[in-house]
Amino acid sequence: MSLSKDQIKKVEDVLKASLRNKFQNYNPEPASMPFHTRLLGKDRLALYSFIHSLNTNFGTSIFEPVGLALAQKSFKLATSQATAGDKISSEAQKEIQKIIDSLNTGTCLPQKKNEVERLRKVCQKGQMINVRPTKVDLMFESKDGAYFLFDIKTAKPNAGGFKEFKRTLLEWVAVILAKNPNAEVNTYIAIPYNPYEPEPYTRWTMRGMLDLENELKVADEFWDFLGGKNTYNDLLDCFERVGIELRQEIDKYFKRFNNK
């Protein structure tokens, strides 16, 4: 087992608090669906609506706080919804656009280490511009001063968004280097689980825009990076235990919709 008893308790407490908070604040949309209601029942319809709502903010309400709880043991600094920086050099902006254009036209392949070094060379050249980059879902600093920034995406991200994903990752690098040109910066897209299991994750849609080895972590690659080997499996066990413990609360919550 990779997770300590303390980490397991923290993770399970986060899950319980998130679900109970959702129960307290969730109100199904007052949509009339007479055929669905008579066929399935109000409680099942309410459950479907609840799951759909939960899926839309699973990242911020569950994956982020769970990731934070796991990483606090392994990293010197761990924060969520962080700001990578507020300034970028005009030359770095130009370099980012050159990288995006070359990837978009297929004239070169993504090579993250090379791209970081290109940005390092121009990170303080030209005019320093005030910016508001995309918030970092999870940001860590290792004990030796290296930075790791994660943008958590859904299990099946829209293929049309990969260009903007790439731009976000490069902008995070540039704003950190603007403050500290010598920093080691690692930026990733994180996908918390593999919807194709037991088959491998279909990564081909990202190839050509993302450096799959150095910019993408899926399922156990992501969770084991945060908490150590076997963290992913330990985490699934945590979710299962909490589901069993709260089952009566969950059933009671949805039964009340039968009386409406």
Residue 128 and residue 152: Cα distance in Å, rounded? 28
Report helix, strand or coil for 27.
coil
Residue spans of the domains in the chain: they are: 1-23+33-73+231-260
What pLDDT sits at residue 159? 65
Say what the pLDDT of residue 258 is.
Answer: 62
Residue at 250: amino acid letter: I
Asked if pLDDT for residue 79 goes beyond 90, the answer is: yes
Out of 30-44, 91-105, 168-182, 227-241, least confident range: 30-44
Q: Is the pLDDT confidence value at 1 over 60? A: no
Residue 238: is its pLDDT beyond 90?
A: yes
Q: Higher confidence at residue 114 or residue 251?
A: 114
On whether the CB atoms of residues 120 and 177 are closer than 8 A, the answer is: yes
Q: In this predicted model, what pLDDT tens digit does every residue of 19-76 receive, in sequence order? A: 888 888 776 665 677 787 778 777 777 777 777 777 777 888 889 999 998 998 889 9
- Contact of 130 with 88, CB cutoff 8 Å: no
pLDDT digits (tens, 9 = 90+) for 116-152: 999 999 999 999 999 999 999 999 999 999 999 999 9
pLDDT single digits (tens) 167-201: 999 999 999 999 999 999 999 999 999 988 888 88
Q: Tell me the C-alpha distance between 69 and 48, whole Å.
A: 29
Dihedral over Cα of 126, 128, 130, 134: its sign: positive
Tell which wins on pLDDT, 157 or 204.
Answer: 157
CA-nearest of 9, 3, 145, 2 to 77 is 145
CB 194 within 8 A of CB 218: yes
State yes or no: pLDDT of 260 exceeds 60: no
CA distance 19 to 12: 11
Q: What predicted TM-score, i.e. pTM, was given to this entire model?
A: 0.88
Task: Give the separation between CA 122 and CA 124, rounded to whole angstroms.
Answer: 6
Q: What is the pLDDT of residue 88?
A: 97
